[in-house]
Amino acid sequence: MQLMAAGLAGHEHDFYHYVANSSWLGGDQGYSELNEGFPYWFNGLVPLAYGVDDDRLKTLVQSAADYVLGAQATDGWLGPENGTARNFWARYPLCLGLMQLVEADPAYEERVISALWKFTNLMHSMLVDNYTGYLS
């Protein structure tokens, strides 16, 4: 894990514009309409950062989590899509990463549970309302 932290995985944010300038973080980069680059990175970085207790990586994780949680839409949506073009796919690895973050850093528990509760309620309402707003 130390090699991963010191290597590609631990420095992806430094050079990979799909992460560093991701639409999830207010940028305009994404390699597909699924917007999954950032969530996969986040989901992998959380256990790496806390597993090796690397302050630099934990700062990246916390900064990303703070941005995403702070940018949650009032209806509960997490992430860059809005309106009637929403896709659930990338939210799953994001949610897994957020759950791991709570396990690693209980200070995030209230914010993450609240955000995921709102998001889950929104997903449910979209699905029971004839998939309103869902982009398949």
Beta bridge partners of 86: 134
Please state the pTM of the whole predicted model.
Answer: 0.92
d(CA 81, CA 99): 22
Domains of the chain, by residue range, sit at 2-128
- Using the structure block, give the residue that is written with the tokens 């980069």: 29
> Tens of pLDDT along the chain (136 residues)?
999 999 999 999 999 989 999 999 999 888 887 889 999 999 999 999 999 999 999 999 999 999 999 999 999 999 997 666 688 899 999 999 999 999 999 999 999 999 999 999 999 998 888 877 666 5
CA angle in degrees (0–180, nearest 5) for 98-102-105: 125
Give the chain's length.
136
CB 23 within 8 A of CB 29: yes
- Could you tell me which residues come within 8 angstroms of residue 54 by beta carbon, excluding any fewer than 6 positions away? 5, 10, 48
